[in-house]
Amino acid sequence: MTHARRDVAIVAFAQTDHRHRTDGLSEVETLMPVLHDALGQAGLAARDIDFTCSGSSDYLAGRAFSFTMALDGVGAWPPIAESHVETDGAWALYEAWVKILTGAADTALVYAFGTSSAGDIRDVLTRQLDPYYLAPLWPDPVALAALQARALIDAGDTDERALAGIAARSRAAAAPGAAVPQRHCGTGPRAGQPRGNDGRAAWIAETVAARSADAKGTVRGSRAADDYVVAPLRARDCPPIGDGAAAVVLAAGDTARRIHDRPAWIRGIDHRIEAHALGVRDLTESPSTRLAATRAGAFDAPVDTAELHAPFTSQEVVLRKALRLGDDVTVNPSGGALAANPVMATGLIRLGEAAARIHRGASDRALAHATAGPCLQQNLVAVLEGETR
């Protein structure tokens, strides 16, 4: 590159208390406190933000144009420069990062929200597949991940015991009493703490046994964590079904330094996609993750932390391999998608969690990853750094 890029950093991150159901809140009611928290941390008002970008999905809400009413929570008046991606908010962050690079913005607000509990997420996500050959068979995301898990086991990359270890480690990391992140800056309580226990309890598997158990979404008749949902994946290998929202604030150069005394600088960010059909891909590999990581500079120096968007335990195996993460890297100290999975916000939360760790000095160089599409079809990798103290 002959032109120096602008320095851009994540300077604030907020997320909801992820719950199985949002207690009767609309999307905007869920989102608004998170926006206030993120802006409050950055010491900015909505009118100070140069660009706003969000990520969500009409298919999760069951309504066309569902994102338009969420804008009510932003206070878009006078009118704002704003855009929306119909996918995980991590890609909204990417769009905002590009906008800041062009010089057209110094600050950006990025948010994402998802109400995975509104529909049956296992049915909803089948609609993401090839509409001619795949969607008519209704193969759900657990089934597809299980095909991938079997391929990994056959290839000797993992076994069910190792997957159990990933599940246990992730849930333990998110449990009350696990290293509670310290707030580094900003005002008000950290939105993500504490996470509701009901969010962690609601495995996808349990909705099989106890769908619509009661109106509030509290799941009864819980299925044991070691029951197979689609073998070789057990309930514990699957993500919880959760509703939630997240927001981050991005800022360039000196603006970032004014807002935070340890901004999480985005040293590189890139995303890549693979072919759609599972039958033409080697499911044990993630070349798109590898390529995105290369382009983001992930292999230029070691990272100490990785926040991986792996909704299924087996997918962490694929990602660790693609990203060449050794045992010296702290993987998903937040608990990852296995602890809280508000679909369409989960990837953005990985970026936010990685940034928050840098903010509070727990990491100097962190990798954040987000995924979209069946079986890790599309992947985004960002490298975040705190300045050396």
CA distance 344 to 245: 9
Q: How far is the CB of 110 from another protein (least distance, A)?
A: 14
Closer Cβ to another protein, 86 or 300, answer by number: 86
> Among residues 123 and 261, whose Cβ is nearest to another protein?
123
Instruction: Answer for the pair 266, 94: CB distance below 8 angstroms, yes or no.
Output: no
Of 354, 357, 360, give the one whose Cα is nearest residue 323.
354
With CA atoms as reference, report the closest residue to 277 among 131, 116, 117: 131
Q: How far is the CB of 325 from another protein (least distance, A)?
A: 22
Two tokens at 177? 């009493």
Closer by beta carbon to another protein, 96 or else 306? 96
Instruction: Tell me if 36 sits within 8 A of 73, measured CB to CB.
Output: no
Task: Considering the complex, state which of residue 13 and residue 59 has its C-beta at the smaller distance from another protein.
Answer: 59
CA 191 – CA 268 distance, rounded (Å): 27
What is the closest distance, in whole angstroms, from the C-beta atom of residue 297 to another protein in the complex? 14
Q: Which is nearer to another protein, 122 or 171 (CB)?
A: 122
List, in sequence order, every residue forming a beta bridge with 385; answer none if it has no partner: 265, 365
Measure Cα distances from 155 to 101, 150, 275 in Å.
42, 8, 21
**Residue among 272 and 359 whose Cβ is closer to another protein:** 272
CB of 24 to another protein, least distance (A): 2
What is the C-alpha to C-alpha distance for residues 338 and 203, in angstroms, rounded to an integer? 9
Exposure of 339 in the CB half-sphere (CA atoms within 13 A)? 28
CB of 189 to another protein, least distance (A): 17
Nearer residue to another protein within complex by CB, 34 or 331: 34
The residue (of 82 and 159) whose beta carbon lies closer to another protein is: 82
Closest contact distance (angstroms) between CB of 356 and another protein is: 23
Spatial contact of 26 and 251, defined as CB atoms under 8 Å apart: no
Between helix 313-323 and helix 160-174 the angle, nearest 10°, is 90
State which residue, 29 or 261, has the beta carbon closest to another protein.
29
Beta-carbon-side half-sphere exposure of residue 345 (alpha carbons within 13 Å): 31
- Distance between start and end Cα atoms, the chain: 28
CB of 175 vs another protein, minimal distance in Å: 28
CB-based contact 378:254 (threshold 8 Å):
no
Q: How far is the CB of 149 from another protein (least distance, A)?
A: 7
3-class SS of residue 360: coil
Q: Give the Cα separation of 55 and 303 in Å (integer).
A: 27
To the nearest whole angstrom, how small is the minimum distance from the Cβ of residue 215 to another protein? 7
